[in-house]
A and B are shown apart, each in its own frame.
Chain A
Amino acid sequence: MKLKLGAWVTAVVAVAVFFAAAYAISGGPSKPVPSPLAGVYLGKGTKCVAPLSVMRRYHMQFLLHQRFLTVHDGIRTKRFLLTNCVDCHADPKTQSVLGKHGFCASCHEYAAVRIDCFSCHSSHPESTGANSVMALAPTNSRIAEMVKETEITQLQSDPVVASNEH
């Protein structure tokens, strides 16, 4: 019994020392969290197609939904089209969303999420698009509906995004 108590005390002390050391090494709370977006070209426009918090959390779902609409139903409205993302977010220097400071690659590398979009899709912006006609199209009502739905239902039920929003 005595031996067990001693082991407990040692363990607690060891954990405390570990956290103290970690705190000391990290330089305390004042040091900024390393950001994957340092030096990254963010995009041509001032606003993304949806609020930032929504895009950060749900862009993969928008792309997944849009890819079905585009391939199977031929709906090529620009809002969540991958080519539209690339057109805006591609770095003008490299003409790409990939590479060290690429908009997609930098963040995904930081998050250790390997995406395979660009093994098939072009990472370069569209110079002369066959879809340019679609740029004049009215806002996609179906997708707008979806976004609205996402904002209302999912965001409210999602603690992470809800805490960011409010």
Chain B
Amino acid sequence: MSIDRRQFLAVGGSVVASMALAPGLRLIALAEARNPDQGVTNLKRWGILVDTTRCAQGCSACVTACNKENGLQQDVRLDIRPQWIRTVTLRDEQTGYVQTLPMMCQHCEDPPCVDVCPTGASFRRADGIVLVDRHICIGCRYCMMACPYKARSFVHENLHDQLPDIPRGKGTVEACTMCVQRVDAGKIPACVEACNYDGGKAMTFGDMKDPTSEIAKRLATEPSEEIRPQLALDTGVRYQGL
């Protein structure tokens, strides 16, 4: 497709006008409902906000939903069972206060797993989702060592009956994909959906770069923190009430 100078100026002008109208107020919502044949862009950054005060002890709705959505088989030996999301229980030694939180891939802006990957299999998608391209993963597990959140798992044994949308296989590393197949189809991750349906409504998913999204509004107005902030990884999963 080629456009002449006049068309270019008209389109360019309208884009600039729509963006410059007012900060936070745009005539055209950028990257809203991505065209399926256009790739993801960095105009979005997907993130999850977890309010740990709403995370009930003993609740594992997110874990169950993740296992079901991604077909993580439960008939694997416990010590080598892949785990994309887990609940972590913290106890304050002084006060005895116990809290639970979900822990999974934090989808860092600067992911250590990507830094150490020798083949480029571990990568960060333009919209902030950190993934493993298992076609080129050689199973060296450097990324598992590098991850400060212990978020990745290695598949030790042959698998069977994988789900059509979630290919998984022996000899590769895997982790939370933020349910990329659902996000690409305009849905929210399974853990967030389950938390809002069965759990304590502790999780919020959305585009952190869209100022009108719930997650961006809450991040802007409420206190939240990332785990291990001293590493300055700028995580896409943030927590409240730690």
Contacts and interface: CB of A to CB of B under 8 A. Distances in A.
Interface of A: 67, 69, 71-77, 83, 86, 119-122, 124-126, 129-134, 137-143
A120 B166 CA distance: 9
A86 B164 CA distance: 9
Contacts, number: 83
Given A121-B167, A130-B185, 14 more contacts: A71-B135, A74-B180, A76-B181, A76-B184, A119-B158, A119-B169, A120-B159, A120-B167, A121-B162, A122-B161, A122-B164, A130-B165, A131-B185, A141-B37
A75 B134 contact: no
A74 B184 CA distance: 6
B39 interface: yes
A72 B123 CA distance: 8
B134 to A, nearest CB: 6
A44 to B, nearest CB: 16
Given A71-B131, A74-B127, A86-B164, A134 B36 contact: yes
Given A71-B131, A72-B125, A72-B133, A126 B40 contact: no
Nearest to A139: B37
Nearest to A133: B185
Given A74-B127, A119-B170, A129 B39 contact: no
A149 B209 CA distance: 37
B40 A73 contact: yes
Contact of B168 (A69, A120, A139): A120
B186 interface: yes
Given A120-B168, A130-B181, A73 B39 contact: yes
Contacts of B38: 75
A122 B163 contact: yes
Interface centre among B123, B168, B184 (most CB of A within 10 A): B184
Closest 10 CB pairs of A and B: A73-B39, A120-B169, A137-B36, A126-B164, A120-B167, A140-B37, A74-B40, A122-B164, A121-B167, A133-B185
A92 B34 CA distance: 34
Interface string B44-67: 000000000000000000000000
Interface string B88-102: 000000000000000
A69 B39 contact: yes
Interface string B136-169: 0000000000000000000000110111110111
Contacts of A143: 37
Main secondary structure, interface of B, reads loop
Interface of B: 34-40, 123, 125-127, 131, 133-135, 158-159, 161-165, 167-170, 172, 180-182, 184-187
A77 B168 contact: no
Contact of B135 (A67, A125, A139): A67
A125 B164 contact: yes
18 contacts: A72-B133, A73-B40, A74-B34, A75-B37, A77-B36, A83-B165, A119-B158, A120-B134, A120-B167, A122-B162, A122-B164, A122-B167, A124-B164, A125-B164, A126-B165, A130-B182, A134-B185, A140-B37
Contacts of A83: 164-165
A119 B171 CA distance: 11
B162 A120 contact: yes
